[in-house]
Amino acid sequence: MKPKQPKPLREEISDLTILIAIAREEGDEEEHEKVVNNILELFRQRIKSACEFYLKYKDDPELLWKEQLDYIEKLKVKRRLQQFLTNIREILSSKEEVSCVHGWDMYDKCKLLKEYNEWLFKLAFEVKEK
């Protein structure tokens, strides 16, 4: 399942804003309401898509690599994902179940997965680093 590549959100909102202005200018409240609802639906779809993407690949950089390599390359974040995979593969060479539970032996696994999940969240929701 490859992520859809919709128009950038800024562009879609800009297009809808123009439609709102036209509807206001023409005094068409019904059309104005329709466009506002389209904006709300656009946000709902984008948030839903980002949540689904994040939840699918959370705690599983191998799956992200396997299913979304083209997308990762397009976003130019391949090197960062490779770093996570290399580190996780080293840590998981013990073949233990990955779960953040008690014990210092789990500390590195938990720390790395937490870092990966934070990175993935920012990727999924298009959060820009400051």
Residues 91 and 62 in one domain: yes
Q: Which domain holds residue 82?
A: 58-130
Q: How wide is the angle at C-alpha 40 spanned by C-alphas 37 and 43, nearest 5°?
A: 150
What tens digit of pLDDT does each residue of 7-31 get? 677 787 777 788 778 877 888 788 7
Question: CB neighbours of 3 closer than 8 A, spacing ≥ 6?
Answer: 49, 53, 68, 71
Q: What's the confidence (pLDDT) of residue 52?
A: 96
Examine the domain organization and report whether 46 and 70 are in the same domain.
no
What would the mean pLDDT of 90-97 be, rounded to a whole number? 61
Last residue of a domain, one of 11, 31, 54: 54
